A = this chain, B = another copy of it.
Amino acid sequence: MTKAAGAARQGTAPRNYPKGERRRAQIIEAAFTAFGQVGYRNASMVQLAAACGVSRAGLLHHFPTKESLLEAVLEQRERQDDAHFFRTGAADRDGLEYFASMIRLVAHNQANPVIVSLFAVLSSEATAADHPARPYFVARYERARGQMQSAIHDLSARGLLRPHVDPSTLAADLISLIDGLQVQWLLSPETIDMPRHLRNVLRTVIGVEVP
């Protein structure tokens, strides 16, 4: 049941959610393109509004700040990545499938420097105590560590984990590896092959080859 349908059933006037949601999606799409083309810092809310055919006030109604818009862009990207790379749901139950999906996602990122750069910049900026995206990134990393720990626990239960590996420590380490490789790859793409590095490190902690 959509929110609009819910409101109608409760006898209140149905608000025009679908139109608002379409407009919101349209703004996110335009911002995605703009951030990719001119960078987050250089993108202007005025130009973004013009590109979507909305007034500046209309844009600010949906996204009061440029940070909140970028956050929406990142959240959508994350949902798309999840849907695409972890689509079967098998990654939730099968640690090997989880890491196979992770290698595919990292290989996909290696074809998208603009997105990788945006994520790297914003996650670092967001470490500032007063940054509006800080709660989002705190939650995002907690979730990422939790999901990876579950995958590692599954491998451990199946006897596929090398001895003396602590799942919680390893999850933070592997996420750090992936994040850190992105910066080196963006700066020296000819030197760093991210999926190769990840696969190589996984060989040292997992007893079988990740498919």
Contacts and interface: CB of A to CB of B under 8 A. Distances in A.
Contacts of A176: 176-181, 183-184, 197
Contacts of A127: 113, 117, 120-121, 183, 186-187
Interface stretch (A23-31, A44-52, A85-93, A136-144): A136-144
Give the secondary structure class of A's interface: helix
Interface string A86-130: 000000000000000000000000000100010011011111100
Copies of this protein, total: 2
Nearest to A180: B176
A5 interface: no
Contact of A183 (B124, B177, B197, B200): B124
Choose among A117, A177, A197 the residue with the greatest number of B CB atoms under 10 Å from its CB.
Answer: A177
A128 B117 CA distance: 7
A132 interface: no
Interface stretch (A9-17, A57-65, A73-81, A167-175): A167-175
Interface string A28-45: 000000000001010000
B121 A187 contact: no
Chain B CB within 10 A, most for which of A127, A142, A204? A127
A201 interface: yes
Given A127-B186, A138-B187, 20 more contacts: A121-B127, A123-B187, A124-B183, A127-B183, A127-B187, A141-B183, A142-B191, A145-B191, A166-B200, A172-B184, A172-B192, A173-B197, A173-B200, A176-B177, A176-B179, A176-B183, A178-B180, A179-B179, A179-B183, A180-B180
Interface of A: 39, 41, 113, 117, 120-121, 123-128, 134, 137-138, 141-142, 145, 166, 169, 172-173, 175-181, 183-184, 186-188, 191-192, 197, 200-201, 204
27 contacts: A39-B128, A41-B125, A113-B127, A117-B127, A117-B128, A121-B121, A121-B127, A123-B124, A124-B183, A127-B183, A138-B187, A141-B183, A169-B197, A172-B191, A172-B192, A172-B197, A173-B177, A173-B200, A176-B176, A176-B179, A176-B180, A176-B181, A176-B197, A177-B180, A179-B180, A179-B183, A180-B180
